[in-house]
Amino acid sequence: MRKITAGLFVSLDGVVEAPDQWHFPYFDDEMGAAVGSMLGTSETILLGRKTYDSFAGAWPEREAAGGEDAAFAKVLGDARKIVVSRRELDFTWRNSEQLEGELVAAVTALKNEPGGDISLSGSISIVRRLLEAGLLDELHLLVHPIVVRKGMRLFDEGDDTIPLRLISSTTFGSGVLHLVYTRADSAGTGTYEDAKTHLSQTTR
């Protein structure tokens, strides 16, 4: 079964919208390595239409320009790119196609295909749906030390909690936290009566 990984830039107050307006001051070698490990090693990239349009409007030109980011642009161009959209799309960026069918069922089938890892970048609504459906194997959050105070948050309101388990955490020199989560079997149980036994017994 193929592993599905999602990576997101997120502010300290949970904002994931328009990271191009607050993210770049924190982009350094450590951040580049993290992004490269998420996107640059995946055989397939799953994208929402808006994220795809942003990528397709930039990366082919960067590859053609032959600059410092051309090699990474080529990696993205060579990857299989599957776009989630309710309307029929036309593609000019190579190796691009549209996901057919209902999202959860189609991604489940994609996950069960033979092949390498699948990654998501951005595409918040897709990340939410796949996380809720239990299809995400890893959720990479690059938490920036900035409070944006406006814009879409990562998690919306819902009826059910989604328990997660921390796999790893890394602190970059910039202050960004790279947190990697997977789904937990359950949220566990507990009350204040259980918690108070862990309070410090220090007295004045």
* For the chain, percent of residues with pLDDT exceeding 70: 98
Chain segment 9-23, per-residue pLDDT in tens? 999 999 999 999 999
Burial tier of 193 (Cβ tally within 10 Å: 0-12, 13-18, 19+): exposed
Assign 202 a pLDDT band (cuts: 50, 70, 90).
low
Question: Per-residue pLDDT for 187 more than 80?
Answer: no
Question: Per-residue pLDDT for 74 more than 60?
Answer: yes
At residue 159, the pLDDT reads 78
Contact 168, 180 (CB under 8 A): yes
Assign 160 a pLDDT band (cuts: 50, 70, 90).
confident
At residue 182, the pLDDT reads 95
Cα 131 to the center of its chain, rounded Å:
10
Question: Per-residue pLDDT for 152 more than 70?
Answer: yes
At residue 56, the pLDDT reads 95
At residue 111, the pLDDT reads 94
Q: What is the mean pLDDT of the chain?
A: 92
CA distance 158 to 55: 30
Chain segment 84-113, per-residue pLDDT in tens? 998 888 899 999 999 999 999 999 999 999
Decide which of 86 and 179 is more confident.
Answer: 179
Name which of 151, 160, 163, 170 is nearest 190 in CA terms: 163
CA distance 6 to 187: 21
Assign 39 a pLDDT band (cuts: 50, 70, 90).
confident
Question: What is the edge-to-edge ordering of all strands in the sheet holding 96-98?
Answer: 96-98, 80-84, 44-48, 118-121, 4-11, 138-144, 177-183, 164-171
Overall average pLDDT of the 60-75 stretch: 95
Assign 199 a pLDDT band (cuts: 50, 70, 90).
confident
pTM: 0.91
Q: Which CATH architecture has domain 4-198?
A: 3-Layer(aba) Sandwich (3.40)
Structural tokens at position 118: 């699948």
